[in-house]
Amino acid sequence: MNLLRISWANLRDKALSSFLSGLLMALGVTIISLLLILNQQLTEQFTKNVRGVDLVIGAKGSPLQLILASIYQIDAPTGNIPLAEANRLTRSPLIKEAIPLALGDNFKGYRIVGTNQKYLLHYGATLAEGTTFNRPLDAVVGAKVARLTGLKLGDQFAGSHGLTGEGHEHGNKKYRVVGVLAPSNSVADQLILTPVESVWEIHEEEEGEARAKPSLMPMMAAPDQSPEGEGSGEERNADPENSASAVGATEEITALLVKVRNPLAKLTLPRAINDNSKLQAASPAIEINRLFTLLGFGLDTLQYIALAIIVISGISVFVSLYNSLKERRYEMALMLSMGATRARLFGLLLLEGLMIALIGFVAGILLSRLGLAVLGRNVEDNFHYDLNALTLLPEEGLLLLGTVAIGLLAAALPSLGIYRINISRTLAEE
């Protein structure tokens, strides 16, 4: 027999109202915790992958799209740019380093990225086995791609046209896996890397046999992900901009990841490029900031709603205790007459609020992790990004404190009535 047991018995005795209070508490905690994790994971993923890239240069279009496509590999690229023009730009003294990217194909939904060794260095990706790519059609496979598709050293595979799902397969030229990357916890984990030349080679071939193929990129703007009809004239018309470039196409890339020499160049270079060329330069920092500002508005709103739910849960604890205390006045007087001190009974009631808060918190955290697992699978399927957080975030410690404070406060207010009970009179009434 102890206070905990009595409190617990009291909670169970009014199971429904305890359940309601606990449920509200859990719901609020779930939403807040889920928001915290998502925010943390998104920020982490986004800042990790942007590191060191000051600018991205690509075809004109939405700067945010360009960033999402070339750094995070989640959106479709804005188009292609002629290699010659790109090369001319990289000779600018303001540019310290430029990494070319050529997108357009995938293997089982994992993007094949034509690039050079600097890309590996940039993301600190090291080889787990094999060698790096040297010749066209060599492929280095990201850790996650290797794990999930089963590609191993020496395997040959054909890329499919497009960036997601099943496109037209480039059956004639096959890639050969020469290396597998160790996990670097960056975007490189989910990519298949190959020299830029591989991409050119494959698409030259295609163009030879079917003139209608757009040079590199089947523009994602075209809604059809269905197997593209071999050289149908219709498709060519559907994508005039791209096919126009395809006619005179020599060699093209999708984007350049650029590091500049000095901070000032981050401001001057984009302006020069955007004003004076057919290309655009976008700053990851600015675009991601913009994205977070847009998202942040929604996140904030949700956070306020969740806080409101927690407060309502507190009110529900308050009402429930207030009502039961009116009914239990005699019970309280009885326990006082049996040797309980008022402080002890006060503690007994606080314990009820505390228990609801703790149960709500634990259930909420469990629910949020469950929600994250479901959400994570979704994100994984669609974007190949992992979401995982099995540890408690520091902010969740604060959330625990807040929840407990609300539980205690909600219990304390009605429980102060304990100190006003007149034992003799309460026992004599009846």
Q: Does 10 bind other proteins (CB under 8 A)?
A: yes
Q: Does 172 bind other proteins (CB under 8 A)?
A: no
> Which range binds other proteins by CB under 8 A, 118-126, 299-307, 334-342, 391-399?
334-342
If you compute the radius of gyration of the chain from its CA atoms, what whole number of angstroms results? 31
Q: Does 1 bind other proteins (CB under 8 A)?
A: yes
> Which range binds other proteins by CB under 8 A, 7-15, 233-241, 249-257, 313-321?
7-15
Q: Does 37 bind other proteins (CB under 8 A)?
A: no
Strand partners, 57: 256, 281
Selected binder of other proteins within 20, 128, 404, 427 (CB under 8 A) = 427
Q: What is the Cα–Cα distance from 253 to 196, expressed in whole angstroms?
A: 8
- Say if residues 242 and 217 touch (Cβ distance below 8 Å): yes
What is the distance of C-alpha 307 from the center of its chain? 23
> Which range binds other proteins by CB under 8 A, 78-86, 153-161, 329-337, 367-375?
329-337
Query: Which helix or strand (DSSP H or E) is residue 156 part of?
Result: strand 156-157
Helix segments in 126-178, DSSP class H: 143-149
Q: Which residues contact 184 (CB under 8 A, 6 or more apart)?
A: 123, 124, 125, 126, 143
Q: Does 16 bind other proteins (CB under 8 A)?
A: no
Q: Does 420 bind other proteins (CB under 8 A)?
A: no
CB of 428: closest distance to other proteins in angstroms?
A: 5
CB of 325: closest distance to other proteins in angstroms?
A: 13
Q: What is the Cα–Cα distance from 427 to 430, expressed in whole angstroms?
A: 7
Contact map string, positions 283 to 322, toward other proteins, x by CB under 8 A: ----------------------------------------
Residues 81-110 that bind other proteins (CB under 8 A): none
Q: What is the Cα–Cα distance from 269 to 170, expressed in whole angstroms?
A: 38
Phi and psi torsions of 181, nearest 5°: -85, 150
Residue 96: count of CB within 10 angstroms of its CB: 13
Q: What tokens does 212 get?
A: 């209608």
Total residues at the site for other proteins (CB under 8 A)? 24
Helix segments in 240-283, DSSP class H: 240-247, 263-276
- Say if residues 179 and 153 touch (Cβ distance below 8 Å): yes
> Which range binds other proteins by CB under 8 A, 154-162, 168-176, 365-373, 422-430?
422-430
Selected binder of other proteins within 76, 282, 335, 411 (CB under 8 A) = 335
Which CB sits closer to other proteins, 344 or 377?
Answer: 344
Selected binder of other proteins within 93, 150, 263, 339 (CB under 8 A) = 339
Q: What is the Cα–Cα distance from 283 to 295, expressed in whole angstroms?
A: 18
Residue 53's nearest CA partner among 214, 278, 246, 283 is: 283
Which CB sits closer to other proteins, 346 or 385?
Answer: 346
Strand partners, 282: 56
The residue whose two tokens read 């503690």 is 347
CB of 343: closest distance to other proteins in angstroms?
A: 10
> Which range binds other proteins by CB under 8 A, 20-28, 144-152, 176-184, 335-343?
335-343
Q: Does 423 bind other proteins (CB under 8 A)?
A: yes
Which CB sits closer to other proteins, 143 or 340?
Answer: 340
Which CB sits closer to other proteins, 2 or 391?
Answer: 2
Positions that interact with other proteins (CB under 8 A): 1-2, 5-6, 9-10, 12-13, 328, 330-331, 334-341, 423-424, 427-428, 430
